[in-house]
Structure 1
Amino acid sequence: AQILDAIDLAHREIKNIIAAQRRLRDQVGKPKPTLAPPVAPWPEEFAAGLRQRFAGPLDVALRVHGKFEQADAVDQVEDDAVASVPEAERPEKGPWAKAIIHEMIKEQFRSAILAKGERLDGRAFDEVRKVTCEVGMLPRTHGSALFTRGETQALVTCTLGTSDDVQVIEALEGESQQRFLLHYNFPPFSVGEVKFMRGPGRREIGHGNLARRALTPVMPDKNAFPYTLRIVSDILESNGSSSMATVCGGTLALMDAGVPIAAPVAGVAMGLVSDGTRHAVLTDIAGQEDHYGDMDFKVAGTREGINALQMDIKIGGLPREVMERALEQAHRGRLHLLDIMEATIAQPRPDISSYAPRIITITINPDNIRDVIGPGGKTIRAIQDETGARINIEDDGRVEIATADEAAANRAVQIIEGLTRLPQIGEIFEGTVKRIEPYGAFVEILPNRDGLLHVSELAWERTREVTDVIKLGDKIKVKIIGIDGSDRIKLSHRALMPPPEGYTPESGEGEGERRRPHSDRPGGRDRGPRREGRR
């Protein structure tokens, strides 16, 4: 009812726009040309004879199951009709016979539905063709599904990418980005034709956009699932509503890929045959019902509501009650499809494919972005070279790290956190000795962040040489005991050890420790006894 009310509201406003257009036409418009419908060139008795003779065989041919089998049967009736014309008259009357048979196909199709209440394929008006679903048949893709409904089949794949893969759209309103892409391909072989495979046409763009609109409302938020998503639907066979097959197959492929969509989405194409007084609403129309019918009404949504609508209509108007009936039948058909889909895969897989990139998102202070990027991008390139991860940094400080190697992702996180973390006095780290000087050692406590471990802070006892205790590349536990105004860090190792027995701050040594002679002091020398007379 809500969607009908919305359509009614839009219709009222459209009437106002049309009234304005008509006023403009009355003022400046030109007379509309009157076109007379073409007159049939054949005599009525010729057409009546063909109708009487071939109505039965044509009815049998139209009820043959299978798109191509039915086409072959109809072609045979057409050939028989042409063959019934005397050979001398065939150059003129042969095309007449073909045209009359084509008229009879439309007439018998509509008569079967409106007068007999029958669909030519034997289905009830609200019946969906046989549906089968498969997922995961392409193991190397991130997600895949094969959706088949009658003689319409879609092979759909889902690929997970990083923020570098978003589609940048330049429009009159400015530049925007799209992180959910859906590409619909309709190769000629899907309808038994041979043509050149060129770029996307109006059909591919329109059907793909409809399917994307149907799936967009259930997509996860970027903060919860920071992937760029691309769905590709390849139509392998088509006999009606391949766009809705794309919606159903797209849902299955997303769930197979582990995308946490809000709810499954299914779509069904509704049809209408009307003579103005009688209205027949058809569920899941096939290609012939689309061609000879009066409406193609596509409805896609979840169990809770409608996500997308599209209508192609060939009659002048549609009563509200017919529209309501079409939406109600579409709802039942959608629930039927969702039941079958959920029997195949009830919910998104708990984890993404092992071939998909793992994206870890962390947030840093925007003021530290320059520290991660480095001069000319040197630092971030070094991180990517070391870990093999792809790193993207947003202006708000959000950092995305993408790689299929979890260990590499964790290493990249460690490096970035080290670059942006502010060490605090009292923190303890296990660092690596990076450089040794006579007065102490420089220990890296965080990636690209080191501090000075003075020789006096190596041990409680006096240390003659730094290398007596540690060597280059050694791992050593240290504690931050000071940070000066220039952010230089002072470290201590002895602060993590208990003082020796008898140690006092005044002596700086234990009872049993012998004080070193002056000549043993680093950089000192034995100056000998003091000379008399010198002060």
Structure 2
Amino acid sequence: MFDIQSQEVMWGGRKLTLETGRIARQADGAVIATYGETVVLCAVTAAKSVKEGQDFFPLTVHYQEKYSAAGRIPGGFFKRERGATEKETLVSRLIDRPVRPLFPEGFYNEINVIAQVLSYDGECEPDMVAMVAASAALTLSGVPFMGPIAAARVGYVDGDYVLNPTNDQVKEGDLDLVVAGTHDAVMMVESEANELSEEVMLGAVMFAHRECQPVIDAIIKLAEKAAKEPWEMAPQADLSAAKKKLEKLIGKDIAAAYKLTNKSARSDALNAARAKAKEAFASESPQDQMAAMKLVKKLEAEIVRTAILKDGRRIDGRNTTQIRPIDAVVQFLPRTHGSAVFTRGETQAICTTTLGTKDAEQMIDGLNGLSYERFLLHYNFPPYSVGEVGRFGAPGRREVGHGKLAWRALRPVLPTAEEFPYTIRVLSDITESNGSSSMATVCGGSLSMMDAGVPLKRPVSGIAMGLILEGKDYAVISDILGDEDHLGDMDFKVAGTEVGITSLQMDIKIAGITEEIMKVALAQANEGRAHILGEMSKALAGTRQEMSAHAPRIETMQIPKDKIREVIGTGGKVIREIVATTGAKVDIDDEGLIKISSSDLTQIEAARNWIHGIVAEPEVGAVYTGKVVSMVDFGAFVNFMGARDGLVHISEIKNERVAKVSEVLTEGQEVKVKVLGIDDRGKVRLSMRLVDQETGEELPDTRPPREEREPRGDRGDRGDRGGRGGSGGGGRDGDRRRDRGDRDRGPRRERSERGSREEGGKDEGPDPEFAPAFLTGDKD
């Protein structure tokens, strides 16, 4: 029933299996890739014909994570996978970028590549497995794909490269890099690094490319067993005559247009040349007209590329290493927590930084479960930034990808949550664009965070590099324009500090580049980054010491874990009361770390004191301010430390005798008390009389000391006292009474249980009018 073919290879310490013929047999190509216990299905379908008038390649890649793969049910109301998450969008782009350049020019059939995660072991991210599965499925499908490619992830732990590291190894290390490449060259790079050197980054890229080779070989072996017949490509028409006609007609116009340094003027001149060419071919068939317009684009590319390779002269007149003029301004907006405008040539970004509390963190629901992100970066690219009319609304894939690139570049220099307990959001609005708006976001985002008082390790700058490659001749160009991006062979973005690289991204439009070219590009990018950092420092050299008056202040305090319940209270009653009364926000985590936030420092202090009162232990001898919460005949209960109450005995209210507590105190009255002692059960004895109720200063104890008792003398022989209780009678020796003096108190009633006592006396002790209760024995 099934014609199942598979290929296995040991890769990075785990077995990688590629299987076809069992699942999705009606697709043009379908492969199940299994790596460890992570399983990804990728199916490829291609349209058998091209829509009339279509002159572009409609490749669409969809990556989807099935929550069942990790044994989870999706969150949200619908409880099912719906629109693509940010991660799914990013991985879709990750697959698209290296495979798109490997389709031949003139192939315009629509292709769908759909990769779905069916099982996830929680060890390695499935994005890399999906890229391998997509490459294998395209190779088997028969479409004219000039692959295969393979992809590998590289970590850098303790100075060593790690192939396909686990999630824990990525967190522990200094690098998270994904590389895709063919057998001969690197096609795509995506990375985040902790300020690593160019040598380490280049070594990681080449290490990944070498480790891709066994996978490429496995895909080729599987294709030898299961690939479908390759599609026959329609023969390309001979367009040499049309090309000569266009060169003669508009060649000089295009050359003149690309000598204009102003983008708007250059665009107008190019549009005029294109209109002239369209008019010249107006009588031709639609197919010939379409072919002619594509030749115009080729003619433009040849003119630009030749000028750069032969003369070293670029569109705007710069040489290959020159950076466009830079202007940077901070504190651009009055009410934001931090803001900056970064302009480089005709590329401009307004970046704002907003600081928030922990409850502003982004909750992310994914295969690994719920997680929270405290650093957010959002990138917007409105159509007016390129002088066009277009869609304006929710961000597209490109905006999500550019924002994530800037996010990766800036995250390594952020302070830890303990050092800076804020949620940070950077918003980049591109107001002009002519190349490298994502790198402008990196520069502007760095400045806006420093303007907001975020203590970055170091400022970060970014630059986009380009490549012109003709045979063995090549030129690496710094700070590329939009046209140089479109007409060139590489978009190579590098971001980092003066210490090292924090992010690297590369996209190739040809069949890959060599290690030599990458080395030159990295060295040239280093020089460019240093120049840009110098220009940025003219606006702001380091983090401001004072945050904006409009930003919330957050202070932290640590409490014992066994006190968390007391701070929260039953059903959150206590913490809600603290927030409602003080006006400050209070967040507490499972480790007892409390964050108190408000733009008003007095509110923070009030909340801090309240919480301190709940968790702190009273100190004997210390003076506190409290409030009378209830009164009884023998004293008053005072709340003096959060929820802590203590008793002020009636004898400790004043030095003078107090007949009734209510004559001196009222419920709700604020008083100052001194802690006299704490018993084994935690009950606290307080005193008001030893504290000045106006100033809170301690007072000396002026109450007369307790009188000493007279010595009782020698009691002598007490004789046989007889039994006590019901076992026998008997009385106490009369000598005892005589020793205590002749105080005739009259006859006493007999107690048969204890024997008869003819007469007796008792030492009454100090006068009860002046002695405290615990001395007078009132409890008798």
Q: Residue type matched to 1:140 in 2?
A: R
Select 1:205's aligned residue among 381, 397, 400. Answer: 400
Q: Which residue type is aligned with residue 132 of structure 1?
A: D
What displacement does 1:321 show?
1.9
Following the alignment from structure 1 to structure 2, what is the Cα–Cα distance between the partners of residues 53 and 463? Answer: 114
Q: For residue 519 of structure 2, what is the amino acid of its counterpart? A: E
Cα separation, 1, equivalents of 2:659 and 2:482: 93
Q: State the one-letter code of the partner of 1:18.
A: I
Tell me which residue corresponds to 1:159: 354
Residue 269 of structure 2 aligns with an amino acid whose one-letter code is A
Aligned position for 1:9: 207
1:39 aligns to 2:237 (yes or no): yes
For 2:209, give the aligned amino acid: H
Deviations 1:246-272 (A, max 9, x none): 111110110011000111111100000
Q: Distance in 1 between matches of 2:224 and 2:439?
A: 42
Alignment map for 1:80-479 (pairs within 5 Å):
80-82=276-278, 98-466=293-661, 469-470=664-665, 472-479=667-674
Find the counterpart in structure 2 of residue 79 from structure 1.
275
Q: Matched residues in 2 for 1:370 and 1:92: separation? A: 76
Relative to structure 1, is the Cα distance of residues 437 and 102 closer, same or farther in structure 2, using a 3 angstrom cutoff? same
Residue 282 of structure 1 aligns to which amino acid in structure 2?
Answer: I
The residue number in structure 1 matching 2:707 is 506
Aligned counterpart for 1:63 among listed residues 259, 270, 295: 259
Distance change (3 Å), C-alpha of 1:272 and 1:89: closer
- Mapped contact 2:657–2:769 kept (Cα < 8 A): no
- Matches of 2:582 and 2:467 in 1, distance apart? 59
Cα separation, 2, equivalents of 1:81 and 1:29? 43
CA contact (8 A) 1:298 1:310 kept: yes
3-state SS of paired residue (1:115): helix
Q: Which stretch has the larger CA shift, 441-450 or 235-244? A: 441-450
- 1:403: Cα distance to partner? 1.0
Determine the C-alpha separation between the residues in 2 that align with 1:499 and 1:314.
90
The sequence identity of aligned pairs, in percent, is: 45
CA separation of 1:435 and 1:92: change in aligned 2, threshold 3 A: closer
**Cα distance in 1 for residues equivalent to 2:399 and 2:417:** 27
Of stretches 146-155 and 492-501 in structure 1, the one that deviates more from structure 2 is 492-501
What is the one-letter code of the residue matched to 2:577?
A: A
Letter aligned with residue 342 of structure 1: S
Measure how far apart 1:9 and its partner are.
0.9
SS in 2 for 1:200: coil
- Which residue pairs with 2:73 in the alignment? none
Give structure 1 regions of 4+ aligned residues with deviation exceeding 6 angstroms: 87-94, 515-518
SS in 2 for 1:433: strand
Measure, in 2, the Cα distance between the counterparts of 1:136 and 1:117: 39
1:504 is displaced (CA, Å) by: 2.6
Alignment partner, residue 54 of structure 2: none
Q: Does 1:25 align with 2:25?
A: no
Partner of 2:14 in structure 1? none
Counterpart secondary structure, 1:355? coil
The structure where helix makes up a greater share of residues is: 1
The alignment partner of 2:526 has SS state of: helix
**Contact 1:356 1:404 (8 Å CA) reproduced:** yes
Structure 1 residue 50, shift from structure 2 partner: 3.5
What is the CA–CA distance in structure 2 between the aligned matches of 1:443 and 1:205, rounded to whole Å? 59
- Once the two structures are overlaid, the 10-residue window that deviates more, 332-341 or 362-371, is 362-371
1:497 aligns with 2:699: yes
Secondary structure class of the residue paired with 2:463: strand
**CA deviation after TM superposition for structure 1 residue 80, in Å:** 3.5
How far off its partner does 1:207 sit? 0.8
- Greater mean alpha carbon deviation, residues 121-130 or residues 433-442: 433-442
Change (3 A) 1:476 1:88: closer
3-state SS of 1:344 partner: coil
* Number of residue pairs aligned between Structure 1 and Structure 2: 510
User: What amino acid maps onto 1:411 in structure 2?
Assistant: A
2:97 corresponds to: none
CA distance in 1, matches of 2:506, 2:332: 33
1:524 alignment partner in structure 2? none
Distance 1:53 1:258 in 2: 58
For structure 1, the residue ranges without an aligned partner over 5 or more in a row are 509-514, 522-535
Question: 3-state DSSP class of the match of 2:538?
Answer: helix
- CA offset at residue 89 of structure 1? 6.7
TM-score, normalised to structure 1, is 0.89
Instruction: Please tell me whether the aligned partners of residues 326 and 343 of structure 2 are also in contact (alpha carbons under 8 angstroms).
Output: yes
Q: Structure 1 residues 490 and 239, CA, compared in 2 at 3 Å: closer, same or farther?
A: same
Instruction: Provide the residue aligned with 2:70 in structure 1.
Output: none
289-298 or 101-110, which moves further after superposition? 101-110
Deviation at 1:483, TM superposition (A): 2.1
1:193-229 CA distance string (max 9 Å, x none): 2223232211011111111010010010000101111
Identify which range, 187-196 or 172-181, moves more after superposition: 187-196
Paired with 2:555 and 2:332, the residues of 1 have a C-alpha distance of 28
Q: Which shows bigger deviation, 336-345 or 192-201?
A: 192-201
Equivalent residue letter for 1:35: M
1:486 CA drift (Å): 3.6
Letter in 2 for 1:248: C
1:135-194 deviation digits (Å, cap 9, x = unpaired): 111111111111111111111111111111111111112221111111111112222222
TM-fit CA distance, 1:277: 0.9
Aligned 8 A contact 1:440 1:455 in 2? yes
Q: TM-score, normalised on structure 2? A: 0.62
Q: 5+ residue gaps in structure 2?
A: 1-198, 691-697, 710-766, 774-780
> Counterpart of 1:526?
none
Distance in structure 2 (CA, Å) of the matches to 1:214 and 1:357: 26
Task: State how far apart, in whole Å, the 1-side matches of 2:708 and 2:652 are.
Answer: 16
> Distance between the aligned counterparts of 2:287 and 2:604, measured in 1?
77
- State the superposition RMSD in angstroms: 2.5
Residues 489, 291 of structure 1: alpha-carbon distance in 2 compared, 3 angstrom cutoff:
same
Is 2:247 the partner of 1:51? yes
DSSP-derived class of the 2:522 partner: helix
Shift of 1:97: 5.4
Amino acid corresponding to residue 500 of structure 1 in structure 2: T
Kept after mapping to 1: 8 A contact 2:465/2:479:
yes
Pick closer, same or farther for the CA change 1:88–1:485 going to 2, 3 Å.
closer
Residues in 2 aligned to 1:504 and 1:95: alpha-carbon distance in whole angstroms: 113
Deviation track 1:335-372 (CA, whole Å, cap 9, x = no partner) reads: 01100111100111112211111111111111111111
Contact kept, 8 Å, 1:271 with 1:289, in 2: the verdict is yes
The Cα of 1:56 is off from its aligned counterpart by 2.1
Contact 1:480–1:490 (CA<8 Å) still a contact in 2? yes
How far residue 467 of structure 1 moved from its aligned partner, in angstroms, is 5.2
Give the aligned residue type for 1:346. A
